[in-house]
Amino acid sequence: MIASAASALYVSPVASYGTRIGLGPKAKPLHLSQKTPKLFKGFNGLKAAALVSCESDTSFLGNGRNATVWVWESFKPKLGRPNLRTKSQLKPQASSFKVAVLGAAGGVGQPLALLIKMSPLVSAVHLYDIANVKGIAADLNHCNTPARVLDFTGESELASSLKGVDVVVIPAGIPQKPGMTCDDLFNVNANIVRSLMEAVADNAPDAFIHIISNPVNSTVPVAAEVLKQKGVYDPRRLFGVTTLDVVRASTFVAQKKNLKLIDVSVPVIGGHAGITILPLLSKTRPSVTFTDGEVEELTVRIQNAGMELVEGKAGAGSATLSMAYAAARFVESSLRALDGDGDVYECSFVQSDLTELPFFASRVKLSRKGVEAMIPSDLQGLTDYEAKALEALKPELKACIEKGVSFVHKQTAAAASG
């Protein structure tokens, strides 16, 4: 199943050599391109550059020239057979970014580490967990993609795992299980996130920080408060990863309306749990019409998709592979932004001024500094259903945010008095 997720990363079979085909829309290339940019206009989100070149001489597909053939063959059925000349060049070039995964031995951490290792923008993946990391790193290092995987085990090695990294991803914590309340989940994971964020603040304060640990509506405020107490809080660099909601919304809509999945984009706003998840189906691209019944059905399914998996796995787990895929897509988008791509947009739960709430999930533009801009137009022209749902989610989201903030303040007060 991990192999299936990996192949989905790049649309064509060439994960190490994409034509700006990556985890997110309009993905960054490892400079495989064609002198035929007009031919790629039928692929939404793909960018064609001016020259075919493979910047690594080997990959899991074989040598660079073979990979070029694979790419051309993958496009031929759609492009036809015009009289075109293609040119390939091999230009070895080292990737430059380092990514740390905290909680790398878990159900999300392991496939996420594999997908990150496949990125042509990554030179090193640092895996941290309290146990069982060494074998995972060794396993991943048998994959012939350029990124090197390093293992770090236990609290004594946490600081070292964060030195020099550009992106920190935190999937650490326990998954939600049948019968578990949000309070149960929060009490365990909030402590884990707080502890890890203290180390991040001390050792990687300038990194992009991706929070996956649930409940994201509360753990992101926990992370923010820790960074504030440490004097290193930059709201532009702290992200709650809500990409899975976007991935699910796009998938379910494409299935419902029989659309090409690669073409479908659905913004999802609000938060990352239950009714706080609000897919803006009226803003689906390409434009599509929904009946009132379809809007209700799709919205409820997207909101409850997590429990659909918890129940489907009979209590043995929650979203792991799909979460890893979505998180890897957000990592790739962040790396593209850090690499200077000026056209990177993703939905994320961030400090926001779009509503009266201090944190809110919406589409944002990313840059080297983090969040460059919100997209307020996404909240304009909502349908009556969406506008009412937006107002309905605010009290619950507000309570979740305040819960995270209060948790850190209480912990700080308890430590001071003890």
- Among residues 22, 304, 338, 397, which one has the least CA distance to residue 210? 338
Distances (CA, A) of 119 to 9, 124, 182: 9, 10, 34
Residue with tokens 């999945």: 261
Among residues 31, 126, 210, 272, the one annotated as catalytic is 272
- Among residues 157, 150, 160, 172, which one has the least CA distance to residue 103? 172
Residue with tokens 């897509």: 329
Q: Quick one: which H or E segment has residue 295? A: helix 292-303
Cis peptide before 286 (omega within 30 of 0): yes
Q: Is 374 helix (H, G, I), strand (E, B) or coil?
A: strand
The phi, psi pair for 48, rounded to 5°, reads: -100, 135
Give dist(CA 107, CA 70) in Å, integer. Answer: 32
Q: Which residues pair with 364 in a beta bridge?
A: 346, 374
Strand ranges in 130-183 using DSSP code E only, listed in sequence order:
148-153, 167-170
Strand ranges in 134-288 using DSSP code E only, listed in sequence order:
148-153, 167-170, 208-211, 238-240, 268-270, 277-279
DSSP label of 140: H
Work out the number of other CB atoms within 10 angstroms of the CB of residue 30.
25
Single-letter code of the amino acid located at 115: L
Work out the number of other CB atoms within 10 angstroms of the CB of residue 39.
16
272 is catalytic: yes
The phi, psi pair for 372, rounded to 5°, reads: -90, -35
Cβ within 8 Å of residue 37, ≥6 positions away: 48, 49, 50
Which of the residues are catalytic? 272
